[in-house]
């Protein structure tokens, strides 16, 4: 018999047996007891099973009987249900005609009730009207009118609704005229409009209570939005119709505005728009607090959540100023064409300045964005003229600045400049950057991205005009260099042009990383993207009807649809531009090292700021090629300075080629060549006399340039000069002369103790620089020990490929192996005496 016991049960059985039997297998006395116990347990289990098997059939029988009884009861209930359903259907069939008749009668009753309510409503309206005719109390009149106004919202049938609206409008006009008449009397008692801030004058409490009650009445008798008569609105009317109390409050102000600033009065001069703009701001300052404290709380108590009394009051005054400004600008255009105004552009520019100043002060007073006033300037004709006037005056000021001799003078770089720092920013550059910043401040408040992009295009045009003028001035300055150029302290036109190009470029790169220009960059790309998409769609629509071309057009259109986000609203573009600009700004800030300039630092500190180290990684952003073109102009100016100083150095260094020492008024005393110089002690060495004049002239010009040029440009000039002089002396002196020990010592002294320090910046150690690599490596070859030099020369002559590795190990990286062999061959101690030609080259 197979056992199906689990492992746990088996372990329990084994443990019990071990406990009862023990560890002695020879003592099995307990085995019989265990067998007896197990037999008893088995008998007990069998008896239990037999008892259970005897009880189960009796329980099953009773359960079956109960189930049969239940099924019979269910059947009886089903029969009763079917009988009841038949009775119900029979009853419904008998009562169906009655139900139909009842429905008809109930419908007739409902119609009669509607007619009754209809006539009762007419009676109610007539009753309300009669009560209002007889009533003399304003409170009761307003209450009755409120009931009539509620009836307009209760019944929506067209003819009845029109009837009630007519009555409501009729009583609205009567109540409005009556209440406004009382309201105007209260305003006179309040001395409205105020001539100063109302806080300075005490208002009687009784008058203020009457004002509050009448204001509440005016709020309550306001007609619903659908009842209000639609008036023809102009371009500069408020977007939302002001509430009735605000309308009444604006009436005397509108009268005064019309009286003073329209017509032929002296205060209505069209060349003085600041008069009515200033008056508008004064009225807003003097009255908005009173409206906020005495009108808005009443609307809040009446739970009129759509009422913004202060905003509606300010919008009404702003609409007056906007309408008058539009008229003034139109008069400029018409009278300018007739020649009635001498300088129309000056008057227009003045009006624009006053408008922008008004908008700025208005935002500060109201703490809200008020863009509808700027819509006067963004009208098509006005905006085009604005751009033209901005460009005209900018170009005129540009020419005037560059024609002045003072534009090359340096100016302070701001209060944040370091004490004792060299000031190098020219006045002209500072003015031009200020001009661009002023234009940015003027158009950055415009709400539409398209208008801002047009001003950005104007800025790019001005930058290009500025670069062209600087290029012309640089050509003229480079062609008129004099012998004393860069020797006299003071500004020089060429240096000023170089500094101007560098300063302008640095500012543009800073601005390109700012939030404002990053947003414009995104708008510009979106506009170009949409334009290209529209162009492709137009081309696909005008394609031929051939099947191949149709298929290709469909594929292109499908691809364009997948690439472009369609139907982006202006708000979506604005939000996306700001989000992407902030992300880009954060990314660039995180990538910038501490050695790079801070894009958030003020522009005024650029004179002492460090530029970006790697120019190739700079991104011009929205400015495109302008920074690269300015960098090219700057580098051309530095190259012109380098060429001028280098030509003078070469002219004065002719005697140094063959080492002719000239002293005492150009009298030739001794003619020691490099191969015949005497060996001198290190302490007795001095710079070669033939090198004094070119080196002194070059150092003087470098010192003068260091005072006028920007620090990075001065370092660039030193590097260019060092590179050219390194090549020149290397080719004309080292490769063309023989050197004995005395000549080697003198040449090494000239290079390491005079030429290298001449190109070192003031704040750096000359020994740490390697600006003359060829000369320093030539000195290394000339000063090698005889045995090492002989070995290297032999290796160069026999194994030139392996010799290059040896030169690199010696630290010679800039001299080619054939030139190194030539230098070693021209050492007199290594010269081959058996070669007559070599000996003759010494003389």
pLDDT tens column, 735-758 = 988 888 888 988 999 888 888 888
For the segment 503-514, the average pLDDT, to the nearest whole number, is: 92
- The residue ranges of every structural domain in the chain are 59-118, 135-230, 231-377, 424-537+568-630, 653-840
Q: Which residue would you say has higher pLDDT here, 606 or 170?
A: 170
Strands (E), 671-719: none
Contact 751, 786 (CB under 8 A): no
Is it the case that residue 485 has pLDDT exceeding 80? Answer: no
Residue 667 backbone phi and psi in degrees, to 5? -90, 125
Question: Among the listed ranges 423-427, 498-502, 694-698, 839-843, which one has the minimum average pLDDT value?
Answer: 839-843
Tell me which H or E stretch contains 663. Answer: strand 661-663
Higher pLDDT, residue 413 or 44: 44
Q: Does residue 561 carry a pLDDT above 50?
A: no
Mean pLDDT across the chain, nearest whole number?
80
Q: Work out the angle between the directed axes of helices 138-154 and 31-134 (0-180°, nearest 10).
A: 120
> 410 and 424 in contact (C-beta within 8 Å)?
yes
Most confidently modeled of 153-167, 651-665, 711-725?
Answer: 711-725
Helix (H, G, I), strand (E, B) or coil at 472: helix
User: What local confidence, expressed as pLDDT, does residue 238 receive?
Assistant: 58
Residue 559 has pLDDT above 50, yes or no: no
> Which of 153, 109, 147 lies closest to 125 in space, CA to CA?
147
Cα separation, 348 vs 260, whole angstroms? 21
Give residue 681's pLDDT: 78
Q: pLDDT tens, 148-204? A: 888 777 766 677 778 788 888 888 888 899 999 999 999 998 889 888 776 667 788
Determine the pLDDT at residue 629: 93
What is the pLDDT confidence band of residue 320, given thresholds at 50, 70 and 90?
A: very high
Longest pairwise C-alpha distance within the chain: 153
> Is the pLDDT reported for residue 427 higher than 60?
yes
Can you count the helices (H) and strands (E) in the chain?
Answer: 28, 2
* 828 vs 614, higher pLDDT: 828
3-state secondary structure of 156: coil
**Residue 421, pLDDT above cutoff 60:** no
In this model, does residue 841 exceed pLDDT 50? no
- The pLDDT, as a whole number, for residue 225 is 61
- Asked if the peptide bond before residue 193 counts as cis, ω within 30 degrees of 0, the response is yes
- Decide which of 572 and 793 is more confident: 793
Report the share of the chain in percent with pLDDT over 70: 79
* Rg of the chain taking only CA atoms, in angstroms: 51
SS3 label, residue 556 = helix
Which pLDDT score is estimated for 51? 63
Give the mean model confidence (pLDDT) for residues 118-131: 82
Beta pairing partners, 667? 663
Which of the four pLDDT bands, split at 50, 70 and 90, describes residue 499? very high
What is the pLDDT at residue 509?
92
Asked if the model's pLDDT at residue 836 lies above 70, the reply is no
Give percent of the chain above pLDDT 90.
Answer: 26
Q: What is the per-residue pLDDT for 758?
A: 87
Chain centre to alpha carbon of residue 60: 87
**Contact indicator for 620, 631 with CB cutoff of 8 Å:** no
User: What average pLDDT does range 450-466 have in this prediction?
Assistant: 93
Block residue for tokens 């030509």: 647
Q: Which residue has the higher pLDDT, 540 or 692?
A: 692
- The helix (H) or strand (E) run that includes residue 782 is helix 773-782
23-32, 35-44, 62-71: least confident range: 23-32
**In Å, how far are 182, 199, 218, 350, 372 from 175, measured between CA atoms?**
11, 32, 9, 47, 33
808: its two tokens: 């690199």
Q: Is the pLDDT of residue 522 over 90?
A: no
Distances (CA, A) of 667 to 653, 660, 662: 16, 11, 6
Among the listed residues 405, 462, 406, 457, the one whose alpha carbon sits nearest the alpha carbon of residue 434: 462
Could you report the per-residue pLDDT of 566-580, keeping only the tens digit for each? 344 445 555 565 666
Q: In the prediction, which pLDDT does 167 show?
A: 80
Q: Which of 765, 756, 499 is nearest to 633 (CA)?
A: 499
Instruction: Decide if pLDDT at 598 tops 90.
Output: no
Q: What is the rounded distance in angstroms from the CA atom of residue 332 to the CA atom of residue 344?
A: 6
Q: Is the pLDDT of residue 505 over 90?
A: yes
Tens digits of per-residue pLDDT, 327-381?
998 888 787 655 556 688 899 999 999 999 999 998 888 877 666 788 899 998 9
**pLDDT-based confidence at residue 240 (cuts at 50, 70, 90):** low
Provide the terminal-to-terminal Cα distance of the chain, rounded to the nearest Å. 128
CATH number for the region 653-840 comes to: 1.20.58
């Amino acid at each position: 018999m197979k056992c199906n016991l689990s492992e746990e049960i088996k372990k329990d059985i084994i443990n019990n047996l071990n406990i009862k039997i023990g560890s002695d297998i020879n003592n099995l006395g307990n085995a019989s007891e265990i067998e007896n116990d197990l037999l008893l347990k088995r008998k007990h289990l069998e008896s239990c099973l037999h008892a259970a098997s005897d009880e189960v059939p009796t329980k099953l029988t009773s359960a079956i009987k109960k189930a049969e009884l239940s099924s019979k009861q269910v059947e009886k209930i089903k029969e009763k249900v079917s009988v009841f359903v038949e009775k119900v259907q029979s009853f419904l069939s008998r009562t169906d005609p009655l139900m139909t008749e009842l429905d008809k009668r109930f419908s007739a009753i409902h119609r009669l009730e509607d007619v009754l309510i209809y006539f009762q409503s007419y009676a109610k309206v007539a009753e309300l009207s009669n009560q209002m005719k007889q009533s003399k109390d304003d409170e009761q009149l307003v209450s009755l009118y409120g009931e009539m106004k509620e009836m307009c919202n209760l019944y929506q049938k067209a003819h009845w609704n029109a009837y009630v609206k007519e009555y409501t409008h009729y009583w609205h006009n009567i109540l409005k005229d009556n209440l406004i008449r009382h309201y105007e009397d209260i305003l006179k008692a309040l001395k409205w409009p105020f001539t100063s801030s109302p806080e300075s004058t005490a208002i009687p409490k009784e008058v203020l209570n009457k004002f509050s009650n009448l204001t509440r009445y005016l709020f309550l008798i306001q007609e619903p939005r659908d009842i209000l008569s639609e008036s023809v609105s102009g371009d500069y009317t408020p977007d939302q119709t002001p509430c009735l109390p605000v309308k009444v409050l604006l009436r005397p102000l509108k009268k005064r505005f019309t009286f003073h600033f329209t017509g032929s009065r002296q205060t209505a001069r069209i060349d003085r728009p600041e008069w009515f703009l200033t008056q508008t701001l004064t009225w807003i300052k003097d009255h908005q607090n009173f409206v906020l404290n005495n009108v808005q709380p009443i609307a809040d108590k009446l739970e009129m959540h759509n009422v913004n009394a202060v905003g509606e009051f300010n919008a009404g005054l702003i609409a007056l100023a906007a309408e008058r400004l539009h008229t003034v600008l139109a008069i400029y255009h018409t009278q300018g064409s007739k020649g009635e105004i001498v300088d129309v552009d000056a008057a227009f520019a003045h009006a624009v300045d006053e408008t922008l100043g008004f908008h700025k002060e208005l935002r500060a007073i109201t703490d809200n964005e008020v863009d509808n006033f700027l819509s006067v300037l963004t009208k098509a004709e006005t905006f085009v003229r604005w751009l033209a006037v901005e460009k005209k005056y900018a170009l005129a000021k540009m020419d005037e600045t560059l024609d002045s001799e003072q534009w090359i003078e340096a100016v302070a770089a701001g209060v944040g400049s370091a004490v004792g720092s060299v000031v190098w920013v020219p006045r002209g550059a500072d003015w031009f950057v200020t001009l661009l910043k002023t234009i940015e401040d003027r158009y950055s408040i415009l709400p539409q991205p398209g208008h801002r992009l047009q001003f950005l295009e104007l800025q790019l045009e001005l930058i290009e005009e500025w670069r062209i003028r600087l290029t012309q001035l640089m050509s003229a300055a480079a062609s008129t260099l004099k012998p004393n150029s860069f020797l006299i302290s003071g500004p020089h036109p060429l240096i000023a042009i170089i500094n101007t190009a560098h300063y302008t470029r640095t500012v543009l790169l800073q601005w390109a990383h700012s939030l404002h220009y990053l947003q414009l960059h995104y708008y510009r790309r979106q506009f170009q993207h949409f334009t290209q998409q529209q162009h492709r769609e137009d081309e696909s629509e005008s394609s031929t009807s051939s099947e191949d071309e149709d298929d290709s057009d469909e594929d292109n259109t499908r691809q364009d649809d997948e690439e472009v986000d369609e139907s982006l609203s202006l708000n979506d573009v604005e939000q996306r531009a700001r989000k992407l600009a902030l992300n880009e700004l954060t990314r660039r800030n995180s990538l910038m090292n501490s050695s790079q300039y801070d894009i958030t630092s003020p522009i005024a500190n650029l004179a002492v700021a460090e530029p970006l180290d790697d120019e190739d990684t700079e991104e011009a952003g929205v400015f495109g090629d302008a920074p690269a073109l300015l960098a090219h102009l700057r580098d051309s100016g530095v190259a012109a300075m380098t060429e001028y100083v280098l030509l003078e150095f070469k002219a004065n260094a002719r005697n140094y080629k063959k080492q002719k020492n000239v002293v005492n008024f150009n009298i030739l005393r001794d003619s020691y060549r490099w191969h015949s110089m005497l060996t001198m002690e290190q302490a007795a060495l001095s710079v070669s006399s033939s090198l004094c004049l070119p080196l002194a002239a070059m150092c003087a010009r470098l010192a003068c340039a260091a005072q006028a040029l920007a620090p990075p440009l001065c370092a660039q000039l030193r590097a260019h000069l060092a590179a050219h002089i390194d090549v020149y002396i290397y080719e004309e002196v080292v490769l063309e002369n023989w050197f004995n020990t005395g000549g080697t010592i003198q040449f090494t002294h000239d290079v390491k103790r005079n030429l290298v320090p001449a190109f070192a910046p003031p704040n750096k150690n000359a020994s740490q620089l390697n600006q003359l690599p060829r000369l320093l490596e030539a000195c290394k070859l000339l000063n090698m020990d005889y045995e090492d030099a002989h070995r290297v020369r032999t290796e160069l002559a026999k194994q030139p490929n392996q010799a290059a590795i040896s030169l690199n190990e010696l630290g010679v990286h800039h001299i080619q192996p054939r030139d190194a062999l030539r230098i070693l061959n021209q050492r007199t101690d290594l010269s081959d005496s058996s070669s007559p030609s070599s000996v003759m080259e010494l003389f």
